Amino acid sequence: MTTVLETLDKGTAYLTKKGIEDARRNMQLLIAHQLSCTRMDLYLRFDQPLEESDLAPLRDLLKKRGEGVPIQHLIGYVTFH
């Protein structure tokens, strides 16, 4: 099974390859959205295995983000940092 950290790293590489700015933060937001947690919670869950029921929708979100769909449209809210 794939862990949160492995998914984060692979997704970040994919978004970087697609030319998405701030790829790691985008991937953190997508995973946190899928797991219904905060970005900070992800750090406590790095070793948590992800079920296929979480990975399948996450792949769809990742593909759309790679195609240029704004992160706000995918997760349903705007973040400020």
Distance, in Å, from the CA atom of 49 to the CA atom of 28, rounded to the nearest integer, reads 16
Architecture label for domain 4-75: Orthogonal Bundle (1.10)
Q: Find the radius of gyration of the CA atoms of the chain.
A: 12
Task: Find the mean pLDDT for residues 15-38.
Answer: 97
Closest CA to 46 of 4, 7, 12: 4
8 confidence band (pLDDT: 50, 70, 90): very high
Q: Considering the entire predicted model, what is its pTM? A: 0.92
Say yes or no to pLDDT of 20 above 70.
Answer: yes
Say yes or no to pLDDT of 65 above 80.
Answer: yes
Distance, in Å, from the CA atom of 27 to the CA atom of 3, rounded to the nearest integer, reads 14
